């Protein structure tokens, strides 16, 4: 069963945690939430939603002073979450067609040489896969 999609802020939190894991809610609230003006309770809610959706896991710290304190880490990493978000966007917003996205990229004209090379490699990969089918 695929995981539910996540919002932009949840994805940003997932990226932050992937770079700073494992981390407590307090650590994430200080490093991620405070610069964005998010309360600790908001960060906790976001982290628990991500855990409920299967993107985060947690383990309780050991020791008498650690009661109720958990360290969170990514269950799958932000890559899967990003793929889900793109899949949802293409399926729901673009109605299954990537052409509007490619047209937007062409009109915007701000594709770097590196991004263009990545796109060309992906197109070549798609063409190879089609020839094999």
9-56 pLDDT, tens digit each: 998 998 899 899 899 999 999 999 999 999 999 999 999 999 998 889
Query: What is the model's pTM?
Result: 0.67
pLDDT tens, 68-87?
789 999 987 677 777 777 88
Q: What SS3 class is residue 118?
A: helix
Q: What residues contact 3, with CB distance under 8 A and at least 6 apart?
A: 53, 54, 55, 76, 80, 81, 84
Residue 104 contacts residue 60 (beta carbons within 8 Å): no
């Amino acid at each position: 069963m695929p995981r539910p999609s996540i919002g932009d802020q949840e994805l940003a939190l997932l990226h932050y945690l992937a770079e700073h894991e494992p981390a407590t809610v307090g650590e994430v609230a200080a490093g991620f939430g405070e610069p964005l003006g998010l309360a600790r309770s908001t960060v906790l809610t976001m982290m628990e939603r991500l855990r409920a959706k299967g993107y985060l896991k947690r383990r309780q710290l050991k020791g008498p002073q650690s009661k109720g304190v958990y360290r969170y880490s990514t269950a799958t990493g932000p890559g899967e979450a990003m793929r889900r978000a793109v899949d949802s966007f293409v399926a729901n917003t673009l109605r299954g067609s990537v052409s509007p996205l490619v047209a937007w990229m062409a009109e915007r004209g701000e594709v770097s040489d590196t991004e263009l090379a990545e796109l060309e490699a992906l197109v070549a990969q798609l063409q190879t896969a089609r020839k094999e089918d």
